[in-house]
Structure 1
Amino acid sequence: MSLYEKMHAGELYNCADKELMIEQGKCLERLYDFNATRPSEVEKRNKLMKEMFAEIGDNCYIEPPFHANWGGKHVHFGSGIYANFNLTMVDDTHIYVGDHTMFGPNVTVATAGHPIVPDLREIVMQFNLPVHIGRNVWIGAGVIIVPGVKIGENTVIGAGSVVTKDVPANVVAVGNPCRVLREINDHDKEYYYKDRRINFK
């Protein structure tokens, strides 16, 4: 099994391997170009995102700066995704994000982990586990999502939460560690915030 295959198989590997770092460097060059774009350069940003990402759907918007270990090479975005400032994708293996998901500012999604045993960290050993985020998820400001987590569709993750375990669909989850607070309910369909009623008229 090659080092690149180990990256995506949850196996331990040396993340400082020279060949890997050369390939990673090419990805980071494109990421640098993306973050250096002007607000008016929407077409240039869209073109770069299509080059950077493993997959990216239509009508996605990422507010620079965007940070990613592999520049988005292992990130799979659906359509209609919005990411606010300072989204960090530790994309040493695959991150999957469903359509219409929203990221608040300063969100971190991590796939990389390091062994507890210090001798292995000393020789820069690492392992990676994929992250799956469902369709129509809202991830609040400052959320941290750790390796291997799955978040179900339509779920809201409250600001500042640290998501260490899977979160089901159709719930509001908050806290450190993040726990389900409640299911999304009929009140949510009538009121968008406390006693403020939804009225599109």
Structure 2
Amino acid sequence: MSEKDRMLAGELFNPFETELAKAKFQAQALLHEINHLHPAETQKKTSLFQQLLQTHLDDFTIELPFRCDYGFNIAIGKNFYANFNCTILDGAAVTIGNHVMFGPNVSLFATTHPVEPNYRRRGVFALPINIGDNVWIGGNSVVMPNMNIGNNVVIGAGSVVTRDIPDNCIAVGNPCRVLRKLNERDKVYYFKERQFSEEFYSMINEFLSAETIGAAK
């Protein structure tokens, strides 16, 4: 079994082995080019990210700088947005759903180390991370290995996700825990006592209608 096979199987592996070192070097070379692009070079940026990540889509926005290990283990859905300083350690599959947003300094750590120090010196291991649709992860949050975040979830800023998070909730803290479920009040107030305007409701209804028509075509 190769070190890459061990990595993808969730077993202890040596990240400095020749095949993996070469794959990481290729990813880092692409990242160097991406992270030094002029802001006006949007088409080139999209093209380079399509080479780095597992996506053929072009409707994503990833603010720079961005960091990852290999790129080939990262799959993004439609309309993905990552703010500045996103880091993804992708020794295992990192799957991100549709309409997902990351705040600044969000980190996904699929790769980690054994706790026992002598074993830790022998290598690392990686376990998958799965993020559902319509998820917003607040700034400075960390998602640990082997985590599943459901659909329609908000992860509060500064959280550390160490357990699975179910659908339709707001979760915060270190360790991250469910604060509450989404409810009807969230359709009326966007922040504390600040209400959505009638103009907004009209706009959002037009947007959702157009999206439904587009999906049906």
Which one scores higher on RCO, CA 8 angstroms, separation ≥ 6? 1
- Contact between 1:56 and 1:77, CA under 8 Å: does it hold in 2? no
Q: Which amino acid aligns with 1:92?
A: G
2-structure distance, mates of 1:19, 1:82? 31
- Structure 1 residue aligned with 2:96: 97
Q: Which residue of 2 aligns with 1:109?
A: 108
Q: Normalising by structure 2, what TM-score?
A: 0.89
Deviation, 1:198, is 1.1
| SS at structure 2 position matched to 1:14 | coil
* Distance apart, 1:55 and its partner CA: 2.3
Larger Rg: 2
Identity %: 43
**SS of the residue aligned with 2:87?**
strand
**Number of the residue aligned with 2:76:** 77
Render the CA deviation track for 1:118-142: whole Å, top value 9, x for unaligned: 112223x111101000001000000
Residue 32 (structure 2) aligns with? 32
Is 1:9 aligned to residue 20 of structure 2?
no
Per the TM alignment, residue 200 of structure 1 is displaced from its structure 2 partner at its CA by: 5.1
Q: Which runs of 5+ in 1 are unaligned?
A: none
Cα distance between partner residues in 2 of 1:31 and 1:162: 26
CA-to-aligned-CA distance 1:85-128 (integer Å, 9 cap, x gap): 000001111100001100000000010111111112223x1111
1:108 alignment partner AA:
S
Residues of 1 paired with 2:48 and 2:18: CA distance? 25
Contact persistence 1:93–1:129 (CA under 8 A) = yes
Residue 146 of structure 2 is matched in structure 1 by 148
One-letter identity of the residue aligned with 2:128: P
Find the aligned partners of 1:47 and 1:18 in 2 and give their Cα distance.
27
| Greater strand content | 1
Contact 2:103–2:139 under 8 Å retained in 1: yes
Higher helix fraction (1 or 2): 2
Partners of 1:29 and 1:87 lie apart in 2 by 17
Alignment match, 1:54: 54
Structure 2 distance, partners of 1:169, 1:56, is: 27
Q: Is the 8 A contact 1:174 1:181 kept in 2?
A: yes
The corresponding residue for 1:122 is 121
Distance 1:148 1:200, change over 3 A: farther
Paired residue total = 199
Matched residues in 2 for 1:9 and 1:34: separation? 30
Instruction: Judge conservation of contact 1:58–1:78 (CA < 8 Å) in 2.
Output: no
- CA distances 1:139-195 after superposition (whole Å, capped 9, x unpaired): 000000000000001100000000000000100000000000000000001111111
Aligned to 1:22: 22
